[in-house]
Structure 1
Amino acid sequence: MFDTILIPTDGSDHAEAAAETGLELATAHDAAVHVACVADTGPLGDLRLPGDAASAEDAMRGRAQEYVDTIVDRAESADLDVTGAVLEGPPESELLEYARDVDADVVVMGTRGRGGVHRMAMGSVTDHIIRFGDIPVFVANSGVESE
């Protein structure tokens, strides 16, 4: 049923719980896994990082890589075919484009994640993927209280 599964992450508890569901789904279907995190380096990206713009962007990329590596390690431990990617730009469009590029059969993501000014202004990444994507989305209820 599924050959390729995309698991986006932002390092939140909700994303981690959704990743577990995605890895279980991949194991059940012997599917390849793509793990992606978007370093939102745009003007309304993560405003919580101090310092100059270049340092903040480097910190966001480094943090995104850590989030991806955590899930990639879990997938490798489960003997899954896995690829990790750090993307840059608006999370909504970057994730949709990446899902199409890797020919994902399904996107497995959580209902809530890291927020900040950008998410309040633009809405939920999950909601955007559901509304504007042409790829099925498995929304995993993490059972984790909102941050």
Structure 2
Amino acid sequence: MFGKIIWTTDFSENAEASLAYAEEIASRFDADLILVHVLLDIPLFYSSFLGDSSAYLEALEKAREEASGELESIARNLRNKGIAARIMLLEGSPYSEIISFAENQGADLIVMSTRGPKGLERIIIGSTAEKVVRNAPCPVLTVHEKPALPLKIANILLLTDLSEPSKKAFPPALELAGAFGAKITLLHIMETSVPLGKEDEKALSDALLRVMDGLLADTVGEEFRRSIEKVIVKGADAAGGIARFCEENPVDLIVMATHGRSGLRKTLLGSVAEKVLRSLEVPVLTVKVRL
């Protein structure tokens, strides 16, 4: 499934956090790994205000050479480890260039870091990462902090709101679980603040578990299905319930679809997906559902 992977970098320390994931996934799937940097150049119109345009063009060419050199250094190191790595230097708006390149290449996965100081909610609204997650033609893995090495993905948390579109996230979760030998927990947050009696709550939970079984039966083989733990957690809001589950249980990766439960197209703004991306330290693989 992950035959062609794009890793994006701006050469910052934050960007390095996601490289280990791109490298490990590429290695386990024997995938091509494309290292991408987008050079945010100054349009020639603006350069006319700088006086000597030749000086600007020289600076731009120098920036190209330096960026290509840094990319090639990373690629060389990956090739020495047996990974088919190549580089691509793009110019323009980072978000639009990454999306266009992924579409043209038929990429199966984009791996990128998000920004923000540890311990604070990451404001990704309007950022490159948030725009890529919203519009990418393939799954996007966002990483917040550099992992301990060797990289371990032993516990995958697969989220569902029990809708049919949420099944879109199941195949990549299964692929990664198989490659890493990871356990999958399928989690649904039962969003309600209405107090229920024990019998009513159990009856509702049992009914929801049957729905989860039905979703799995459509996409997962019986043997693998038996190994997936199904969990229902009651909470006033989904994002808070997910955060609590991650605090109380080992989670190495979250996999989720981005869509609206009503079946209507819904942006990430204010959605569960955006809140999860903002607030949790755990890497998140988002799969866009086209409705």
2:106 alignment partner AA: D
Root mean square deviation of aligned Cα: 2.3
TM-score by length of 2: 0.41
TM-score, normalisation: structure 1:
0.78
Aligned to 1:29: 29
Selected match of 1:140 from 125, 138, 143: 143
Unmatched 5+ residue regions in structure 1? 45-50, 114-121
The answer as to whether partners of 2:110 and 2:141 remain within 8 angstroms in 1 is yes
Cα distance between partner residues in 1 of 2:135 and 2:42? 21
Kindly indicate whether the alpha-carbon contact (under 8 Å) linking 1:7 and 1:36 is maintained by their aligned counterparts in 2: yes
Aligned to 1:130: 133
Secondary structure in 2 matching 1:7: strand
Aligned sequence identity (%): 29
Task: Spell out, residue by residue over 1:74-98, the C-alpha distance to the aligned partner (whole angstroms, 9 max, x if none).
Answer: 2201111122111111111111111
Q: Which residue of 1 aligns with 2:19?
A: 19
SS at match of 2:88: strand
Unaligned ranges ≥5, structure 2:
47-53, 117-124, 148-291
Q: CA deviation at 1:59?
A: 2.6
**Highest RCO, 1 vs 2 (Cα 8 Å, sep ≥ 6):** 1
Amino acid at match of 1:37: H
CA distance in 2, matches of 1:83, 1:94: 17
Per-residue Cα deviation, 1:29-84 (whole angstroms, up to 9, x for no partner): 1111111111111348xxxxxx9321221232123213311321222011111221
Alignment pair present for 1:86 and 2:89: yes
**Runs of 4+ with >3 A deviation:** none
Superposition deviation, residue 143 in structure 1: 4.2
Distance in 1 separating the partners of 2:138 and 2:13: 24
Q: Distance in 2 between matches of 1:139 and 1:76?
A: 23
Contact 1:3 1:30 in 2 (8 A): yes
Aligned residue-pair number: 130
In 1, are the aligned partners of 2:38 and 2:92 still within 8 Å (CA)? yes
What amino acid is aligned across from residue 30 of structure 1 in structure 2?
D
